[in-house]
Chains A and B, each alone.
Chain A
Amino acid sequence: MTTRDTAAGSAAPPGWGRRLELLADRKFRYLLIVPTVFLLLSVTVFPAIYTLIVSFQDITLMAEDRSFHGLMNYQRLLEDSRFWWSLVHTVGFLLAALALQFVLGLLMALLFVEWMPGRQVFITLLVLPTVISPIVAGSAWRIMYEHQYGPISQIIGWLAELDNPVLWTADPTFVYPAILLAEVWQWTPFMFLLLLAALVNVDKSQVESAEIDGSTYWRTFWYIVFPAIRPVVAVALLIRSLDLFRVFDKVWILTQGGPGTMTELISIYIYKVGFQQFQTSYAAAMTFVVIILLTAVVVLALRRMGVSP
């Protein structure tokens, strides 16, 4: 080491060593999160990219043709009315179920927000359907709708003095009410729980002030309570929308998409194409379009909620 070197070293800014330490520290921190990031990428980004790649190929039951086929599957998709109808069914089912779950969940939350005897017990009982596996819930509802011995047919038949049982899952008039009822029964409690938690945290003093000032219940709710719970409502609606978009189990158990294709949701159609008919690439193309649509909806929803994605 020369005198010059020594002089240069001593001339370095006093914080240099500290900076190096910080850099090393930051690198170490990045190093620590690498496995997690890698894991997350491998289970989220990789399947999405792989789905995209497969959608440009022509993998079917008969041949694993991995050559590039351009937009062949996407072109087919544009002409596939069954795909678009299944999207329409899904959106219709989503909107109906979401509206019912929200209204019922909110009413239940408003009912239970004040103390009442046995409140905790009731809440626990009400939440029970959400812990049941959807496939089990679907099977239970299938038994409920059974035309000979199912309690629903028995009770309604008795009340309405019907000679012929209603074929809940085969009759076009009743099939949507039937699957909606099953869905609403299972997931309204989830909405109820979230909304109840939000309502409990509404500033009581503001509500009391409004009441003292002579505000009606409805006005208080609309101008004070609802704005306070709005962020939770938005998140609850978003979570349920995403869940409803991918509903499969219950509808599969109850109708398998029938009668005809009347209750064929997009998840059911993709399952049939991908896993019963093994048109893997076409199913991948449909899946990718659904991913794009959902991503767009979620981004818009988050923006609307003031959350930057």
Chain B
Amino acid sequence: MLNRRVTWGAALIAAAAPLASMPVHAQSASERAAEAAKKYAGEEITITWEAGLQALDPKNFSIPKWEERTGVKVRVVELPVGEMFTKTMQEYRAGTGAYDVLNVVPAWMPDLAQAGALEPLGPFIDKYDYRADLEGIAPVYRNNWMTYQDKVYAIPDDGDQWMLFYRKDLFNDAENQRQFEQEYGYALEPPKTWDQFDDIARFFTDKYGPELHGAAMFGKPPYAQRTFQERFRVAGGRFFDPETMKATINTETGVEVLERMRAQVDYMPDGVQQWGFGELLSAFLKGNVAMVQSWPPFGRWAAGYGTDSEPLSWVPATQIAGKVGYAVPPGGASQMAVGFSLSVASNSDQKELAYLFIQWINSQEISLQRVQLPYALRDPFRESHYTDSEYKSRWDSAPEYLQTLKDSAAVGLLDLSIVQTAAYQEALQRGISRLWAGDDPQKILDDVAAEWNEITERVGVERQRKVYQDWASKPNAYP
């Protein structure tokens, strides 16, 4: 009897032995991270986050939850997005180790990674078995925003993109449909091309203006340079000759894009050249504009989701709830404008703990709650976010919203992301401001191209070619 017991016991132990060496799959990624972080209870890490509404997620929701679960304190340093890169680099260069977790705009990754400011995350991901969970991130973000020259430096944490929002009620109106078809010879539907977009916008402006305009856009140069980036590539443009690295934006395609942008001002609200996020949002929510291309929160707030919460008290009351349709932008591609990933600062003295916080906050379980916060500015970025039944029940057209978000993200176009991206973007921004000031588009683009060439020379043609080729080889660099 005893022998039999011993034999069975030995067999069980032998069977269980391999399991002991395997990761504990019973735990979710968030649980694994939280459990591992408990040994650091009482310690503190510092994270950078975009100032304002963005930071309410960690401050009001994520951090209290994390602290309760792990006993690890987290201090949030809020930075305006325009200062984040500068501050991150300054602290790195000064060697202060002031930040542990970094919010990184993917376009900065080549600069930060080359400078050595980011810690490679591969070893941590393997140690805490996060690879499977990362597979749940939508391919467009996973394949484009995580790596720099084949090393993982960041984990995508935001589903930024510019999708098209339009007034369903105006598009579905029988009289509008009849008149439009009579005038333009095709059916009134969400535009598939920028020509159609122009036709429809003019039609609505002519019919309903000046109370309602057919369309509006981000005119402020920091935004509008991204409009150029998107439309230029949709029209077949390429930023550089991959061999010589000479800028190729001053082509006929580039000039046509700028000319169209300037012509569009005619049917848009006065002063649209200076519109940023607030102006465009306000005009759309008040029902003064029929079509806009913007970040996903427009869709949520237009439906009234979360806008009765205190942090969103500045958002104008929506006049168009239930009247908004969602579509992939004209040209079949959406700019993945800005976006955020999470990284560990290379000079942090709490790298492991910093990583654990990232894994926890970015995990499927926690991120699903975060993207549904009424005041969230983190947009769905995981497959499970798009299909979640709770999210789909948030407002009537939420299923349609989430599906379009997914479709639009799949055809997203990356922001240009090479060494010294800020310098290239700044030159383009100045070009856009000259466009609004009335300069000749060809002259503008010739000047911008000359500046881009100078920057490339300064960076080093060979060095930049490698980085550009790495970027251009990503699936969503060009359509």
Contact = CB atoms under 8 A, between A and B. Distances in A.
Given A165-B270, A170-B436, A258-B221, A148 B279 contact: yes
B437 A276 contact: no
A262 to B, nearest CB: 8
Interface in A248-307: 257-262, 272, 275-279
Contact of B419 (A62, A147, A257): A62
Interface in A6-53: none
Contact of A259 (B114, B271, B434): B434
A101 interface: no
Contact of B433 (A147, A170, A278): A170
A261 B221 CA distance: 13
B47 to A, nearest CB: 22
Contacts of A147: 270-271, 274
A146 B111 CA distance: 35
A272 B273 contact: no
B422 A260 contact: no
A167 B459 contact: no
A203 interface: no
A261 B429 CA distance: 10
Interface in B406-437: 419-420, 422-423, 426, 429-431, 433-434, 436-437
Nearest to B279: A148
A158 to B, nearest CB: 14
B459 A62 contact: yes
B89 A278 contact: yes
A170 B273 contact: yes
B270 A277 contact: no
Given A275-B86, A277-B423, A260 B430 contact: yes
Contacts of B440: none
Contacts of B430: 257-261
B470 to A, nearest CB: 15
A171 interface: yes
A186 interface: no
A163 B463 CA distance: 52
Interface string B111-130: 10011000000000000000
A170 B90 CA distance: 31
Contact of A260 (B89, B423, B437, B459): B437
Nearest to A171: B437
Nearest to A64: B93
Nearest to A164: B270
Nearest to A59: B93
**Could you tell me the dominant secondary structure of chain B's interface residues?**
helix
A147 B436 CA distance: 14
B274 A62 contact: no
Contacts of B274: 146-147, 167, 169-170
Contacts of A261: 430
B185 interface: no
A259 B419 contact: no
Interface residues of B, number: 31
B379 to A, nearest CB: 26
A144 to B, nearest CB: 14
A62 B57 CA distance: 33
Contacts of B18: none
Interface string B91-102: 001000000000
Contacts of B279: 148
Interface string A172-187: 1000000000000000
Contacts of B271: 147-148, 164-165, 167
Contacts of B423: 276-277
B439 interface: yes
Interface in B265-279: 270-271, 273-274, 279
A262 B436 CA distance: 13
B111 A170 contact: no
Given A164-B270, A170-B274, A272-B426, A260 B419 contact: no
B270 A61 contact: no
A64 B431 CA distance: 31
B89 A167 contact: no
B42 interface: no
A146 B273 CA distance: 12
B438 interface: yes
A259 B433 CA distance: 5
A88 to B, nearest CB: 17
Contacts of B419: 61-62
Nearest to B271: A147
A207 B53 CA distance: 62
Interface string B306-338: 000000000000000000000000000000000
A31 to B, nearest CB: 33
Contacts of B115: 61-62
Nearest to B82: A276
Given A61-B111, A170-B437, A277 B420 contact: yes
Contacts of A277: 420, 422-423, 426
A238 B115 CA distance: 42
Contacts of A61: 89, 111, 114-115, 419-420
A164 B274 CA distance: 13
Interface in A130-175: 146-148, 163-165, 167, 169-172
A80 B458 CA distance: 13
Nearest to B222: A256
Contacts of B434: 259-260
Interface string B65-106: 000000000000000000001100110010000000000000
A167 B438 contact: no
Given A62-B419, A147-B270, A277-B420, A260 B433 contact: yes
Given A170-B433, A258-B433, 11 more contacts: A61-B111, A62-B459, A148-B271, A164-B270, A167-B436, A171-B437, A257-B430, A259-B433, A260-B439, A275-B86, A276-B85
Interface of B: 85-86, 89-90, 93, 111, 114-115, 221, 270-271, 273-274, 279, 419-420, 422-423, 426, 429-431, 433-434, 436-439, 458-459, 463
22 contacts: A61-B89, A61-B111, A61-B115, A62-B115, A62-B463, A147-B274, A148-B270, A163-B270, A164-B271, A167-B274, A169-B274, A170-B433, A172-B437, A257-B430, A259-B436, A260-B430, A260-B431, A260-B434, A261-B430, A275-B86, A276-B85, A277-B426
Closest 6 CB pairs of A and B: A147-B271, A258-B433, A259-B437, A259-B433, A260-B434, A277-B423
